Structure formats: C-alpha cells, structure tokens
Chain A
Amino acid sequence: MAVAQRTALPAQRGAGWNKLAEKVVAHAFLIAISVIFMVPFFWMVSGSLKTGVDLNAFPVVWFPKTLTLENYIAGLQVFPFARYLFNTLVICAFSMLGAALSSSFVAYGLSRIEWRWRTPLFVVILSTMMIPFYVTMVPLFTMFRSIGWTDTYLPLIVPHFFGVPFYIFLLRQFFLSIPKEMSESARMDGANELVIYWRIILPLAKPALAAVALFQFLTSWNDLLGPLIYLSDADSYTLSLGLTFFRSEYSSQFGPLMAASTVVVIPVIVVFFFAQRTFIQGITLTGVKG
C-alpha cells in the first residue's frame, strides 16, 4: 500500500505501531479460538486411542498413555463400517448425479432460453425453499410407503432427479454470466438446445457443478432424518444412522464411540481439504450476492 502517503498524514502518526498491535491481538484471538474449535476433534481422536483406564481416569488424561486400537476393533465388530460406508456412498453418488444433472437442466431452461414462463416459474421454484421439510415429511413418508419404496434408497435419491431449488438458483446465476453469443453461434450452426446445454454450457459450468456435487455429497453424507424415517433394515443403514444406534447402545462407552465418530468424520475432512476452494466459493455464491 501507499506507505509514503500514510506517513505524510498527521492522523496516521503511530499507524505502524497500531497496525502491529492490531496484528498481535488478532493473532492471539485467532490462535485461542482455533484451539477451542479444535479441542473436540483432538478429544475425539485421543479418546479413540485411549485404553479403558485412561478414558475413565480422573483427573482427565489428555494424551493417551498407551496407544491402543482396541476401540476401533471393538467398534468395527458391532458397527459394520464397510457396509455402511458402501450404502452411504451409493446414496451420495446417485444424489450427486441426480442433483447436478437435473438442477443444471432446469437452470438452463430458466436462464438460457427466453420464454414467458421463465421468471414466474423461477419465483415459484425459489419460494418452495421456504416450505420446511417437516410440513411435507409425513405425507412423503406415507406416499413412499404406499408405493413400496420404504426400506429402499429410492426416497433418498429419486427426488434429487427433479431439480433442487437451491442448486437451480446457484446454477442459474452462473449460467446467466455466460455470454449469449456462445449459444447464438451454436444455434446458427443448427445445434438444438439439448446440444447447446450438453456440449457448451455444461463444460463451461464445471466449477459450479462441482460446488453443487460437493454440497449434495455433504448433505447426503450428513443426513440423519431421511435415513431414520425410511430405512429400518439394519443392513441398509447409512453411516449417520448406524452411528446413532451405536450411540444409544454404547452410550457411556466413549472409546468405541470416539473410534466410530473418527471413522465417520475423517473422510469428510479429507474431501474438504481437497475441495476447499470449491466449497468456499460455493458458500459465497449462495450468499446474498447477485
């Protein structure tokens, strides 16, 4: 920044010191808060590696005296991790595919084609976001049960193939920013809208599609209420649901509980580290900008 200008202004005298003090205070706060935010994760991992003695020691043992994997082994015996992981991934994969495909498809119709219903329809779609899930939850359950979809993954997947309002909003914003000329010249060459959508717009929209896919991955991975309502066969449980029942059976055995939690949390953290930028951009996109 313009240092010369700054020293010239009387009001700025001592700005250097103030700046330094500001930085020191900011760092002190940031480090302290970071520690507070990270403690539960530390507690989870250290708890998962503690022996029963250390877990129930008083005063509290921060670092396990002897590292043990017995909690993981005990946890895995009652908690079929691989099975639940597979179930969860199946739901995640299909929901991501459905959400990204259908939402982009609909968003195309609401942004790249000029027709008279596009604004009213967009308003209607957006306003359905205001309807809370608990209003539709019970009838959706009875409906899915009557067509025999309970205890399958269909209720957790199929609705995502019909456009998710939030993602439609996000993708529409993105599509509107693509110059019209890109479609026009393709239309001149005789391409129809399906071709333009698939060959031109989708490839350009990869970052936005990645954000949608990641959001949906997280939503499906974290979802409890959906699987809780629809799945009753223990073999079809997801990780979240499995962990919930695990928790009620082992409510005071913290070792296995922490091991199971670690196993559920770590994949998300790994995904997050690889896709951090997309996440943060996606969140920002959803803000009030636009």
Chain B
Amino acid sequence: MTTTTAQSSSAERRSAARRPARTPQQRRNFFWGLVFTSPAIIGLLWFTLYPVLVSLYYSFTSATMMKPAQWLGLGNYESLVSDSSWWDSLGNTLYYIVVSVPLGIAVALFLAILLNLNVRGQSIYRVIFYLPAIVPLVASAVVWLYVFNPQYGVFNTVLGWFGITGPGWLASPEWAMPALIIFSTWGAGNLMIILLAGLQDVPQDLHDQAKVDGAGVFRRFRHVSLPFLSPHLLFALVTGLIAGFQFFTPVFVLTNGTGGPAGKTLVSGLYLYQNAFQFFKVGYASAIAWVLFIIVGLGTALVFRLVGRRVYYGGA
C-alpha cells in the first residue's frame, strides 16, 4: 500500500488506508458488519484465542488445579517422551483410527450405494441406519455393554449359533478395542447420509451412457460415481481422523473411565482427561493436548497431500 509519489499524496493514502471505509455507504456497511459479527469476534477472543494461548503457556509449566504455574520450559514434553502410558495411549488411538475410519467409511458407502438403488421403503431404511448415530452416545454405550456381555449378550449368542465361542469383548485385553470399533461402526449413519447425498448428485445420463458402452456395475462405480464422490470421501477421511483423535465418550462409559482392561483402551482423549481432571496435572495435560494437536495437524496435511490431488471437484 505504500506509495512512491509525492509526499502529500502518500500521507493522504496512508490515512485512507487507516480509515475503515470511504463513502458514507461503505462506512455504514463497515459499522453494521462489525455490529453483526461482534458476538463471534468476542467469542473468538474469549473462548478460543485466550484458552489457546493459556493452554500453550500451561504446557510449559508445572501448573496443577491447586498450584499456580511454575515455568518448566520443555519439561512436560520431555516427560511425555519417557511416559509409557502416553505412548500406549497414542498406540491405542492409532489402532482405533486405522481400523475404525476406513471401516466406517466402507460401511457407510455400502449402505449409501444400497439406498441409492432407489429401492422401495428407502426412507424407512434410511431412518433405521441413521438412528444409531443420533441416539445419545452414553445411552447406546450402556446398551452395548449388555450386547457385548460374554454370557448374556447378543453378540456371543449369535456367534454361538455358528459354533463360535465368542471372546470376553470389553473384559478381554485383545477384544476390548475391536468391541469399541464395532460400536463406533454402528453409528456410521451420519456419514451414510452425506455419501448418499453425493451419490444422488452423480448425473444419471453419465451412468446411462456408461451402461450403453457396456460398463458393468463395478466399472460404472469406479469410473462414474467414485470421481463425483471423492470430495465427500476426502471430507469423511479428514473428519474421521480428527474425530478419531477426540474419541472419548464411548470409551469413558464402556470402561468406566479406566481405559481398561490392561490399559488397552486408554486412548489419547481419555489419558488427557485423566491427567487434567483426575490427577489435576493441568500443565502436563496441556502438553498432551498440544502434541495431539500437532499430530492431528500433520496427519490432516498428509491426507490432503496424498489424497487431495486425486479429488475431483467437477460435480460440486
């Protein structure tokens, strides 16, 4: 905005740049724009910027719920490196994400494709598949406690029909995490709706044309539907990744807040909660939060790098 012309005009421009608007109309718009967005601006400062800065500061201190902060420098971050529970929680989180995100997308996509065949009773099926996603997580988690019960539960009863002796699920170190993943997949309805909307945007004439050219169902899906669906799938991948790192409520309810058995379901979100609100280690919890945040950021960037360029935006 700086100018190379005469002194006076440079001063004039500078003051013009400082002034928010020029004409009365613009000035009025600027005023009203500020008025209308002021709640968000105050909210941003109060509920986002301030806590983000404080959390960053805490992460370098020994703050607890009772004691004021003492500067530690990188102390908390150094402790994290040698904290085996933290590494375990990270491993459990990655296990959860790596299995549940693709599985959830696959199930949601399969359901969306089935519903897109325009079968009779579509709206009833849609409601049935969507329902698990909207009922309170706490209540459905409690229900699944009973579903997963090794003796009296539905799961092992049905497995028994096929001659399989089911595992102890939530009581078993190996099967507790798969149980949580199954429970999460049951809630894939949200994603199904989004993918269904994407499928319904695929131009029908492109499909018809491919059909005339002799393309089968799979080829048509691969070459016609999939490109149109790719932005939705990227959206699903990124939101799934972010949500996966925040996975909390089901594990809190199903394991009674312990992350058991044998710490096999201690995910990052739970470990963070425990440190902050059970051990009251505010500084340490903040360091956990920041490392997680950085991991999520890098993970998201990686997804965009690897997958982003394959996304086709022609349909939107």
Contacts and interface: CB of A to CB of B under 8 A. Distances in A.
Interface in B262-310: 269, 272-273, 276-277, 282, 285-286, 289-290, 292-293, 296-297, 300
B256 A251 contact: yes
B151 to A, nearest CB: 6
A23 B211 CA distance: 17
B253 A247 contact: yes
Contacts of B147: 39-40, 43
A143 interface: yes
Q: Name B's interface SS.
A: helix
Interface string A25-58: 0110110011001111101100100000001111
A116 B151 CA distance: 65
Interface stretch (B6-14, B77-85, B172-180, B242-250): B242-250
A58 B36 CA distance: 63
Interface in A250-290: 251, 254, 257-258, 260-261, 264-265, 268-269, 272-273, 276, 279-280, 283-284, 286-290
A264 B134 CA distance: 12
Contact of B39 (A57, A162, A265): A162
Contact of A240 (B130, B136, B152, B286): B136
Contacts of B257: 248
Interface string B77-117: 00000000000000000000000000000000001001101
Contacts of A43: 143, 146-147, 154
B131 A269 contact: yes
Contacts of B71: none
Interface in B21-70: 21, 26, 29-30, 32-37, 39-44, 46-48, 50-52, 54-55, 58, 65
Contacts of A258: 142-143, 146
A82 interface: no
A41 B129 CA distance: 12
A72 interface: no
The 7 closest A-B pairs by CB, nearest first: A109-B36, A162-B43, A115-B33, A139-B54, A163-B40, A136-B51, A139-B51
27 contacts: A26-B119, A27-B120, A34-B129, A37-B132, A40-B140, A41-B143, A55-B152, A59-B160, A115-B29, A136-B51, A139-B52, A139-B286, A140-B51, A162-B39, A162-B42, A162-B47, A168-B40, A225-B248, A241-B138, A243-B138, A244-B253, A247-B145, A254-B146, A258-B142, A265-B135, A283-B190, A284-B194
Interface of A: 9, 11-12, 22-23, 26-27, 29-30, 33-34, 37-41, 43-44, 47, 55-60, 102, 105-106, 108-110, 113-118, 121, 124-125, 128, 130-143, 159, 161-163, 168, 192-193, 197, 218, 221-222, 224-225, 228-229, 239-241, 243-244, 247-248, 251, 254, 257-258, 260-261, 264-265, 268-269, 272-273, 276, 279-280, 283-284, 286-290
